[in-house]
Structure 1
């Protein structure tokens, strides 16, 4: 083997130095390649009580674990030799086009995760061409969200309270502000046992203890943002100084029935989605009321622990009511492959909550943009690898559910 001394002009094409990135936020977001990467950044930058409120679930957190296992147990069946040079990720959702088959789910206490809160989510969603859902328990008002994202597609999530007049006053405000869809959440007659929040003394405003202060010391940016912006409060409610669970149990109405759902349907001129459907029979009853979509959800595992896994329930519900109403899904979605698997099994649309909040905690509005970018890229890549160029080409033949949990025979 003959050797020679390398020359500078020979080395130049082989070496390319990366230009330095001076922004620390830009560096950490660019290094995040998955939602799980964003989660790790969020955990480092957010006080424990706020992070655990997002990250946790009810009781033993079995429902959340099972929902994620369900997506992990997917086996894809790709088609080959298809032209996937261009991919269309958009589809019609409740009468309007969404750029990708996922939107931002309603989340409470969002400005506690990051001071930019719901404004970051609403503006990022508007720019991405996807819906943003504002929670009744949000920390930015209906009107401020509408003003921040006037061209966005905003949905409002409704909890029915014991005080019906106050509930419907929020609905009227959402209608006046141009929100086009109402998400009626039906799986919260009482608050779930969110043990992380109890152990962390989770209150609004946050309760300062020696433990919380010690946890916050290495996270100065969060505290600076928290202390130099508007005080944290529920934008749609009066002030509250107790724990989150106490607030929910005080407000939520355990007497809500299908008659109330039908009444709400009559009051709202836009689209109505029932959020929290967990059986085929309940999906049928919701369809009979005349709603526009059912959202299969166990509240991200935050209500009844060991509840049905929405992804497992999806094919049966689509078969039962898919010709009458749209079937949407949330809970457990952490990557674009999860979204594609849900669409392949018949979901018209999906919502992401934790995935969006991890991005928010990691970098505010820029972090939300990064979360959407990651999910969008994963959806596109998975479609190409499956050999489909449009979402409507996805079928159950592309996905096999490898179930770990099989009911025993009675």
Structure 2
């Protein structure tokens, strides 16, 4: 039989300690976010549909992005036990200089449209965290303002080569004079991808006021207050624009850019050059032979060619073939610190986050970006310690296995012979 008694007040006292409520709504929201997906949920509640979908969406059926995220989920870690991991360090060297963590903030366009603090919040948060910040050609803060927001940190400039070459190189010159140390040349945008969410939402710069956008804005008044009471959207690199995002991109991007143009751009830049948007081994080899300082395996966050190769799947082969001769960076699909650890273990020297940063920005401005970085950092440290690893340099392929979900379909011998015969006939 259970023996019961009246509770002693002294026994109850330790159980009756109530936590003081957090009166700051922004801090309360951000403190409740334990993952990047939690920040995404907050961002979706607080941001009108058109700018949220511009951030969250990708091209056509959005298969590339889904596959990239799935690839990170389809891994198996292999921990070692009984290791002293009390002082695990996330510091590493990227492009000849130390960073506090093996990730940085990727270049994102139209950032102040997502949340009014925009690139200034991202750059200042990156500087405080000791990680690089990359400003997009399509950013909504100037090259000089971003430098002022992150005066002592590492600023990188991302270049789209325009049809107007003089204007493109004028930007490169401004970035060099402002002290940016790395040029990210993005090469996977000869034309704009088909981003159906934006088309359906009537996404334009500036945002268009329609009955639908007004209704959608009613539960999100602070976004509109910020948008209407701060400086109008301007761009890091172009004059004001009135039209859809796709129309803007198609008027700018130059589909004739080739390897000779890339060599010419490299010769104009005094710092490090990283080529972003590499999606096969042969291109990685050719770029390495050209002597670029790094390549970023990326399918543009799934925003260009749908069903493009998964960068995380390409990583081991590219590292094996050219990793000793140039730095391999990676983006697309990263939503947790464990994803970063897996990429580094398989040979990536550095990773970049785009949407993960923007979800934090939309959830809470500069404090939201800080929270996104904090979440990723804590996940990296915890994953490293659970693997039995003390430093970034200790991570290696033995710590992670890519489990196979998608694999090329084998061609039957008879089918292959018929195809070869048909090809010979055409010749």
TM-score normalized by the length of structure 2: 0.95
For residue 179 of structure 1, give the secondary structure of its aligned residue in structure 2: coil
Matches within 5 A, 1:102-251: 102-251=103-252
| Worse-superposed segment, 306-315 or 283-292 | 283-292
1:38 aligns to what? 39
2:22 aligns to what? 21
Contact 1:277/1:283 (8 A) holds in 2: yes
Contact 1:265/1:290 (8 A) holds in 2: no
Offset of residue 10 of structure 1:
1.6
1:316-367 per-residue CA deviation (whole Å, 9 max, x = no partner) reads 0001110110000000000001000000000000000000000000000000
1:276-303 per-residue CA deviation (whole Å, 9 max, x = no partner) reads 0000000011111111000000000000
Distance 2:24 2:8 in 1: 35
**Structure label with greater radius of gyration:** 2
Contact 1:114/1:360 (8 A) holds in 2: yes
Contact 1:125/1:131 (8 A) holds in 2: yes
2:416 aligns to what? none
Offset of residue 86 of structure 1:
1.0
Contact 1:205/1:233 (8 A) holds in 2: no
Distance 1:18 1:90 in 2: 35
TM-score normalized by the length of structure 1: 0.99
2:422 aligns to what? none
For residue 82 of structure 2, give the secondary structure of its aligned residue in structure 1: coil
2:290 aligns to what? 289
1:120-140 per-residue CA deviation (whole Å, 9 max, x = no partner) reads 000000000000000000000
1:356 aligns to what? 357
Distance 1:149 1:228 in 2: 25
Gaps of 5+ in 2: 412-427
2:312 aligns to what? 311
For residue 276 of structure 1, give the secondary structure of its aligned residue in structure 2: strand
Offset of residue 306 of structure 1:
0.3
1:375-410 per-residue CA deviation (whole Å, 9 max, x = no partner) reads 000000000011101111111111111111111224
Distance 1:214 1:29 in 2: 26
1:42-85 per-residue CA deviation (whole Å, 9 max, x = no partner) reads 00000000000000000000000100110010111111111111
2:389 aligns to what? 388
Contact 1:47/1:215 (8 A) holds in 2: yes
Distance 1:290 1:84 in 2: 38
Matches within 5 A, 1:247-286: 247-286=248-287
What is the total number of aligned residue pairs between the two structures?
Answer: 410
Contact 1:133/1:156 (8 A) holds in 2: yes
For residue 400 of structure 1, give the secondary structure of its aligned residue in structure 2: strand
Contact 1:181/1:271 (8 A) holds in 2: yes
Distance 1:235 1:387 in 2: 44
1:323 aligns to what? 324
Distance 2:3 2:320 in 1: 70
Offset of residue 16 of structure 1:
2.6
| Worse-superposed segment, 43-52 or 235-244 | 235-244
Distance 1:203 1:241 in 2: 7
Gaps of 5+ in 1: none
4+ aligned runs moved over 6 Å, structure 1:
none
For residue 231 of structure 1, give the secondary structure of its aligned residue in structure 2: coil
